[in-house]
Structure 1
Amino acid sequence: MARVRLSVAERREELLNAAVAQIQQRGVAAVRIADVAAALGVSNALVLYHFSTKEKLVAAAFTHAADGDLAHLRKLLGRRTSALRRLRAAVRWYAPTGSAKGWRLWIESWAAALREPALREVAGELDQQWKAALTEVIAEGAAAGEFPCPDPKAAAWRLTAFLDGLAVQMTSYSGSLSRSTMLTWTDDALARELGLERAQLTASSR
């Protein structure tokens, strides 16, 4: 059966989705242009027409996947409720036990970024956007008197570093901690950074 003719934007999205899947399956180092082409039943030349090198394809695929998670984070943080409720919802979603899909891809990108400048630049920019989004809402809650956090930016950095570290552990050593333990630790970390008791944090979600 003949393939449906796609617009340039549709074709790029198809290629990026396939690249994300292949990277998650094979890893950044092992994935090839040929793997992405084979997954879609297209030629290597078609992939190279849209992304002239593997490095550009990988960087674009990572951006494509991370942008989706960033959009969802901003949706959670933009809800019409208290900053504390928004932060807890966002952090529990972002945590390794949450429903964010990009952990394996993020970890792959961190490793590959040590050797690939293009991916390092992209990953660094996206990481800053995560921290900036959290910083903004922490600052909003502190200004409103919801919690006594004196340095929202530092709190956002420490919190994301904690969650990133847990994600590496949980992805590398699946099953080493229970979901309930992970969520308890996540709440503890958030409460600590906001200057609250854990009971105050959990009460905010009732």
Structure 2
Amino acid sequence: MPASQRREAIITASQKVLLAKGLMAATTRDVTEELGVGVGLLSHYFSWTDLRSLAFARIAQADIDSAIRQRCDVEASQVLRDVIATAFAESADPVWRLWIEATELAATDPSMSRVVAACTDQWWQAVAGLFERGCVEGAWSCGDPQGASWRIIALLQGLAGLTLAGDPRLTRAEATRHLTIAVEREYQALAGSPALSQTNRR
């Protein structure tokens, strides 16, 4: 197998391991067992800290792509509704756990610190761009899309962490309701555009 393909296979296996075990619990042995190769081969291509960071970056970027960046052909209002509706679904738990662990690791791991900063910036740009696109499409007006993006991202991460912690006072439905209210406060819906709280009721 060419070196470039071997590297990609290692990264792909690492992504699978991280989603299953988390950043803190995963080890190089988990990755090599997933690949069916020896530890020496992995270390020939990557250090563990760099591989772990790169695999997390791939996961985070794929999440941003599927949620927002690859949906430019869908109306901004619908994309935003979908982001809110799926933010705290059980299927999102593995990625949120990785984000929380990555943030913790970033304090002592320079490689992870760079990746977390870069991926957070990509989330910020994607959400700000979504608010801006909604203005252009006439779905809403928003005086501060970039500031709104920071506030929504912070709330998303906070609510996700609390939801994963299992506090019975904050159910997934309640987390979704709080996020919906916060988003609606960031923009002014224009005539003919229903509020998110009206379209997200279940």
State TM-score, norm by structure 2: 0.82
Partner of 1:56: 50
Instruction: Write the distance in 1 (CA, Å) between the matches of 2:139 and 2:91.
Output: 27
Question: RMSD value over aligned CA atoms?
Answer: 2.8
Partner of 1:3: none
| Cα shift at 1:11 | 3.0
Query: 1:102 aligns to what SS in structure 2?
Result: helix
Q: Output one character per residue of 1:160-183: Cα deviation in whole Å (capped at 9) or x when no partner.
A: 110100111122227653332222
2:88 to 59, 73, 96: 96
| Cα shift at 1:144 | 4.4
Matched, 1:74 2:80: no
2:34 to 30, 39, 49: 39
| Cα shift at 1:146 | 2.5
Instruction: Write the distance in 2 (CA, Å) between the matches of 1:178 and 1:161.
Output: 18
CA distance 1:200–1:120, change in 2 (3 Å): same
CA distance 1:203–1:172, change in 2 (3 Å): closer
AA matched with 1:73 = A
2:160 to 159, 164, 167: 167
2:101 to 81, 86, 108: 108
AA matched with 1:80 = V
Instruction: Write the distance in 2 (CA, Å) between the matches of 1:76 and 1:88.
Output: 15
Q: Is the 8 A contact 2:69 2:126 kept in 1?
A: no
Partner of 1:181: 174
Instruction: Write the distance in 2 (CA, Å) between the matches of 1:80 and 1:29.
Output: 37
1:18 to 5, 13, 17: 13
Q: Is the 8 A contact 2:180 2:196 kept in 1?
A: yes
Q: Is the 8 A contact 1:134 1:156 kept in 2?
A: yes
Q: Percent identity?
A: 28
Q: Which moved more, 1:63-72 or 1:8-17?
A: 8-17
Partner of 2:187: 194
| Cα shift at 1:88 | 1.8
Instruction: Write the distance in 2 (CA, Å) between the matches of 1:155 and 1:144.
Output: 18
Matched, 1:151 2:125: no
In structure 1, the gaps of 5 or more residues are 1-5
Query: 2:195 aligns to what SS in structure 1?
Result: helix
State TM-score, norm by structure 1: 0.81
AA matched with 2:184 = A
Q: Is the 8 A contact 2:142 2:187 kept in 1?
A: yes
AA matched with 1:64 = R
CA distance 1:7–1:73, change in 2 (3 Å): farther
Query: 2:125 aligns to what SS in structure 1?
Result: helix
Matched, 1:127 2:127: no
AA matched with 1:17 = T
Matched pairs, number:
198
AA matched with 2:170 = L
In structure 2, the gaps of 5 or more residues are none
Query: 1:55 aligns to what SS in structure 2?
Result: helix
